Amino acid sequence: MDIMERIKQAIESNPVILFMKGTPEFPQCGFSSRSSQALTACGAEFAYVNVLADPEVRENLHRYADWPTFPQLYINGELVGGCDIIMELYENGELKQMVEAAS
């Protein structure tokens, strides 16, 4: 399967998915750590892709939605954004509403 198809399938198959460095249990960067902690604090069930374990995804995800950095959060197939946006949504209560609506 083409890498862009794999990325698309992962996003469309999961209501909430975080492309991150590491895993929620063992994040490999501070931004990924804060993002996964915010989702967990919202009670969200979310899928994740460790981009460090899949270099092909890491090299091509930025082309999928024209977003250059990690982590990247998608809810219902739409790019929400990276860590700064995730944290802003978390702090104002919108992230919890978004993940609850997606579940």
Annotated binding-site residue numbers for [2Fe-2S] cluster: 29
- Can you give the pTM of this predicted structure? 0.96
Residues comprising the binding site for glutathione? 21, 58, 70, 83-84
Q: What is the pLDDT of residue 70?
A: 97
Binding residues: 21, 29, 58, 70, 83-84
Average pLDDT over residues 17-24: 98
- Please check the confidence at residue 1 and state whether its pLDDT lies above 80: no
The total number of structural domains that make up the chain: 1
Inter-axis angle of helices 3-13 and 55-65, to 10 degrees?
80
For residue range 29-87, list pLDDT tens digits in order.
999 999 999 999 999 999 999 999 999 999 999 999 899 999 999 999 999 999 999 99
CATH code, domain carrying 63: 3.40.30.10
- The pLDDT value given to residue 51: 97
Q: Tell me what pLDDT residue 103 has.
A: 63
Which domain range does residue 52 map to?
A: 3-102
